Protein backbone atom coordinates (compact mmCIF):
# COMPACT_ATOMS: atom_id res chain seq x y z
CA UNK A 1 0.00 0.00 0.00
CA UNK A 2 1.35 3.40 -1.00
CA UNK A 3 1.48 6.07 1.71
CA UNK A 4 3.12 9.12 0.12
CA UNK A 5 5.56 9.82 -2.64
CA UNK A 6 6.31 11.45 -5.96
CA UNK A 7 5.57 10.52 -9.57
CA UNK A 8 6.23 11.93 -13.02
CA UNK A 9 3.31 13.90 -14.53
CA UNK A 10 1.72 13.01 -17.85
CA UNK A 11 3.66 14.54 -20.71
CA UNK A 12 6.97 14.50 -18.83
CA UNK A 13 7.71 10.76 -19.02
CA UNK A 14 10.46 11.24 -21.63
CA UNK A 15 12.19 14.19 -19.85
CA UNK A 16 14.53 12.02 -17.74
CA UNK A 17 13.40 13.64 -14.48
CA UNK A 18 14.69 12.65 -11.05
CA UNK A 19 12.20 12.01 -8.29
CA UNK A 20 12.79 14.23 -5.25
CA UNK A 21 14.94 12.83 -2.50
CA UNK A 22 16.20 13.75 0.94
CA UNK A 23 19.87 14.70 0.95
CA UNK A 24 20.73 13.29 4.37
CA UNK A 25 19.41 10.87 6.98
CA UNK A 26 17.84 13.69 9.03
CA UNK A 27 16.59 15.88 6.18
CA UNK A 28 12.97 16.94 6.57
CA UNK A 29 12.42 18.03 2.99
CA UNK A 30 12.81 16.45 -0.42
CA UNK A 31 14.86 18.49 -2.87
CA UNK A 32 13.17 19.18 -6.20
CA UNK A 33 15.20 19.73 -9.37
CA UNK A 34 14.58 21.91 -12.41
CA UNK A 35 13.14 19.77 -15.23
CA UNK A 36 14.93 21.81 -17.92
CA UNK A 37 17.15 24.86 -18.40
CA UNK A 38 15.22 28.01 -17.54
CA UNK A 39 16.08 31.70 -17.29
CA UNK A 40 14.53 33.74 -14.52
CA UNK A 41 14.78 37.42 -15.49
CA UNK A 42 15.94 40.03 -13.04
CA UNK A 43 13.00 41.90 -11.55
CA UNK A 44 15.08 45.10 -11.81
CA UNK A 45 14.63 45.19 -15.60
CA UNK A 46 10.89 45.67 -15.15
CA UNK A 47 11.31 48.07 -12.22
CA UNK A 48 13.71 50.32 -14.11
CA UNK A 49 11.60 50.23 -17.28
CA UNK A 50 8.54 51.20 -15.26
CA UNK A 51 10.52 54.02 -13.61
CA UNK A 52 11.50 55.33 -17.06
CA UNK A 53 7.86 55.19 -18.15
CA UNK A 54 6.76 57.01 -14.99
CA UNK A 55 9.32 59.80 -15.47
CA UNK A 56 8.24 60.26 -19.10
CA UNK A 57 4.56 60.39 -18.12
CA UNK A 58 3.70 57.00 -19.60
CA UNK A 59 1.43 55.10 -17.22
CA UNK A 60 1.36 51.92 -19.33
CA UNK A 61 3.45 49.93 -16.86
CA UNK A 62 4.87 46.46 -17.39
CA UNK A 63 3.43 43.79 -15.16
CA UNK A 64 5.71 42.44 -12.45
CA UNK A 65 5.08 38.72 -12.36
CA UNK A 66 6.99 35.68 -11.18
CA UNK A 67 8.49 32.99 -13.37
CA UNK A 68 6.60 29.72 -13.02
CA UNK A 69 8.68 26.57 -13.07
CA UNK A 70 6.63 23.47 -13.80
CA UNK A 71 8.56 20.58 -12.28
CA UNK A 72 6.83 17.76 -14.14
CA UNK A 73 6.32 16.07 -10.78
CA UNK A 74 3.26 15.33 -8.69
CA UNK A 75 2.84 13.99 -5.17
CA UNK A 76 0.39 11.61 -3.54
CA UNK A 77 -0.29 11.56 0.20
CA UNK A 78 -3.05 11.01 2.75
CA UNK A 79 -6.23 13.01 3.26
CA UNK A 80 -4.99 14.14 6.69
CA UNK A 81 -1.68 15.38 5.27
CA UNK A 82 -0.44 18.46 3.42
CA UNK A 83 2.56 18.88 1.17
CA UNK A 84 4.34 22.19 1.56
CA UNK A 85 6.85 23.53 -0.94
CA UNK A 86 9.41 26.14 0.00
CA UNK A 87 12.47 27.88 -1.31
CA UNK A 88 15.82 26.36 -0.46
CA UNK A 89 17.66 28.24 2.30
CA UNK A 90 20.34 29.22 -0.22
CA UNK A 91 17.79 30.50 -2.76
CA UNK A 92 17.73 34.17 -1.73
CA UNK A 93 21.39 34.63 -0.78
CA UNK A 94 23.09 32.61 -3.52
CA UNK A 95 20.63 32.88 -6.40
CA UNK A 96 18.46 35.93 -5.62
CA UNK A 97 15.29 33.82 -5.65
CA UNK A 98 12.20 34.67 -3.63
CA UNK A 99 9.07 32.54 -3.91
CA UNK A 100 6.12 34.68 -4.98
CA UNK A 101 3.79 33.01 -2.49
CA UNK A 102 6.39 32.38 0.29
CA UNK A 103 5.31 28.74 0.54
CA UNK A 104 2.98 26.54 -1.45
CA UNK A 105 0.24 24.48 0.17
CA UNK A 106 -0.90 21.32 -1.64
CA UNK A 107 -3.93 19.28 -0.63
CA UNK A 108 -4.19 15.60 -1.48
CA UNK A 109 -6.83 16.25 -4.17
CA UNK A 110 -4.33 18.33 -6.20
CA UNK A 111 -2.75 15.01 -7.24
CA UNK A 112 -3.74 14.13 -10.83
CA UNK A 113 -6.27 17.01 -11.02
CA UNK A 114 -7.74 17.40 -14.52
CA UNK A 115 -6.22 20.79 -15.37
CA UNK A 116 -2.51 20.02 -14.84
CA UNK A 117 -2.22 16.42 -13.55
CA UNK A 118 -0.99 17.72 -10.18
CA UNK A 119 2.17 19.35 -11.55
CA UNK A 120 4.14 20.92 -8.70
CA UNK A 121 4.95 24.49 -9.74
CA UNK A 122 7.39 26.91 -8.12
CA UNK A 123 6.91 30.65 -8.75
CA UNK A 124 10.02 32.78 -8.32
CA UNK A 125 11.12 36.39 -8.52
CA UNK A 126 14.82 37.00 -9.19
CA UNK A 127 16.00 39.99 -7.13
CA UNK A 128 19.59 39.88 -8.37
CA UNK A 129 20.54 42.54 -10.96
CA UNK A 130 21.17 39.99 -13.72
CA UNK A 131 19.10 37.18 -15.18
CA UNK A 132 19.57 33.80 -13.52
CA UNK A 133 20.04 30.70 -15.64
CA UNK A 134 18.98 27.53 -13.87
CA UNK A 135 20.20 24.31 -15.45
CA UNK A 136 18.26 21.06 -15.70
CA UNK A 137 18.92 19.13 -12.50
CA UNK A 138 19.70 22.18 -10.34
CA UNK A 139 17.84 21.99 -7.05
CA UNK A 140 15.22 24.75 -7.12
CA UNK A 141 13.10 24.08 -4.06
CA UNK A 142 12.01 21.56 -1.51
CA UNK A 143 8.87 19.79 -0.41
CA UNK A 144 7.84 18.23 2.86
CA UNK A 145 4.81 16.37 4.13
CA UNK A 146 2.99 17.05 7.36
CA UNK A 147 -0.14 15.91 9.19
CA UNK A 148 -2.73 18.61 9.87
CA UNK A 149 -5.76 19.13 12.09
CA UNK A 150 -9.17 20.53 11.14
CA UNK A 151 -11.48 22.73 13.21
CA UNK A 152 -14.88 21.54 14.44
CA UNK A 153 -16.69 23.94 12.12
CA UNK A 154 -16.19 25.15 8.57
CA UNK A 155 -15.83 21.73 6.97
CA UNK A 156 -17.00 21.04 3.42
CA UNK A 157 -17.62 18.23 0.99
CA UNK A 158 -16.71 20.36 -2.07
CA UNK A 159 -14.59 18.66 -4.74
CA UNK A 160 -11.55 20.28 -6.43
CA UNK A 161 -12.22 21.16 -10.05
CA UNK A 162 -8.77 22.26 -11.23
CA UNK A 163 -5.14 23.05 -10.49
CA UNK A 164 -3.42 26.00 -8.84
CA UNK A 165 -5.83 28.47 -7.27
CA UNK A 166 -8.93 26.41 -8.05
CA UNK A 167 -10.24 25.75 -4.55
CA UNK A 168 -13.11 28.05 -3.68
CA UNK A 169 -13.94 28.86 -7.32
Overall fold of domain 5-147:
Deoxyuridine 5'-Triphosphate Nucleotidohydrolase; Chain A (2.70.40)
Q: What is the pTM of this model?
A: 0.88
Please report, for the chain, the start and end positions of each structural domain, with discontinuous segments joined by +.
Answer: 5-147
Residue 80: is it exposed, middle or buried by C-beta count within 10 angstroms (0-12/13-18/19+)?
Answer: exposed
The answer to whether 101 touches 141, Cβ cutoff 8 Å, is no
pLDDT along the chain (169 residues), means of 10: 96 97 96 98 96 96 96 97 97 96 95 95 97 97 96 77 59
Residues 6+ apart with CB under 8 A from 142: 20, 29, 30, 31, 32, 85, 86, 87, 88
Amino acid sequence: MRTRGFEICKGYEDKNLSLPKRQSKHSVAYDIEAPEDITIPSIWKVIFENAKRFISGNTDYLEVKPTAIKTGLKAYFGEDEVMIIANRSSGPSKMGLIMANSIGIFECDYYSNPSNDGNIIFQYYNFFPTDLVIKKGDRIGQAYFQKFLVADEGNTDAIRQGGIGSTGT
